[in-house]
Amino acid sequence: MMKRDECLKVLARHVTDADIVLPVYSAAFDWIDIRPHPLNYLSHGAMGLASSHGLGLALGRPDRRVLVLDGDGSLLMNLGSLVTIAAAAPSNLYHFVCHNGAYEANGGHPIPGRDRVDFCGFARSAGYPTVHEFSEIDTFEQQIGALLSAPGPVFADLKIASGGPQERDYSRLHGPHVRQAFREALAAG
């Protein structure tokens, strides 16, 4: 089992200034501390919609790599997006699910089927051509470069431990300056 922040630090070393990253909920707070950037699309509050937002951005901006940092509880709310993503087959979409078995941002309550849910199985049966599962940080670190070089859509289930308490200053996610910076950075490229 990996720690989310350690996993995201490994990923951050492979993200370029041209990449769009969509982190949600607990991953969003970790990500903006690890890699603050105007092309972080912070859709916090849109539980379940990160994969749909990511698909829209990937289709609308095929010139940019789009990385979705989804939560397991969030993805459960929008499993149909997996089929839609696989059918659209955007070669620039990389979908990561932070799988800790809990609605961590909402009190740590267990997700339904936490001991049985198989996100990689969902992604495979939906038609994702490339599916990975990681539970060891060393393996993730060894393979992330190749994963991000493969054509998408790519799905990766990141088995992580639930994190501890976080500083949750929502103005860092929702402030008008955040949306304006994203719009300007997207238009500049």
Identify the H or E element spanning 45.
none
pLDDT in the model for residue 50: 92
Beta bridge partner(s), residue 23: 69
Q: How confident is the model at residue 174 (pLDDT cuts 50, 70, 90)?
A: low
pLDDT in the model for residue 101: 63
Average pLDDT, the chain: 87
Q: How confident is the model at residue 180 (pLDDT cuts 50, 70, 90)?
A: confident
Question: What is the percentage of the chain residues whose pLDDT exceeds 90?
Answer: 60
Q: What is the pLDDT of residues 130-173, one digit of tens each?
A: 999 999 999 999 999 999 999 999 999 999 987 655 566 655 56
Q: What is the pLDDT of residues 20-37, one digit of tens each?
A: 999 987 788 889 899 999
Identify the H or E element spanning 180.
helix 176-188
Q: Is the pLDDT of residue 46 over 90?
A: no
Beta bridge partner(s), residue 95: 68, 155
> Beta strands of 4-153 (E only): which ranges?
20-23, 66-71, 93-99, 102-103, 109-110, 130-134
Token pair listed for 172:
């860092």
Closest CA to 130 of 170, 93, 175: 93
pLDDT in the model for residue 108: 58
Q: How big, in percent rounded to 5, are the helix, strand and coil portions of the chain?
A: 45, 20, 35
| Contact of 19 with 66, CB cutoff 8 Å | yes
Q: Is the pLDDT of residue 128 over 80?
A: yes
Q: What is the pLDDT of residues 56-112, one digit of tens each?
A: 999 999 999 999 999 888 898 899 999 999 999 999 999 999 888 666 666 556 666
pLDDT in the model for residue 176: 72
Question: What is the percentage of the chain residues whose pLDDT exceeds 70?
Answer: 83
- d(Cα 75, Cα 33) in Å, to the nearest integer? 23
- Encode 67-83: b = buried (16+ Cβ within 10 Å), e = exposed: bbbbbbbbbbbbeebbe
**Could you say which DSSP state residue 150 is in?**
S
The torsion angles phi and psi of 117, rounded to 5 degrees, stand at: -60, 135
pTM of structure: 0.90
Domain 2-161 belongs to what topology? Rossmann fold (3.40.50)
pLDDT in the model for residue 167: 63
CA 142, 146, 148, 152 dihedral sign is negative
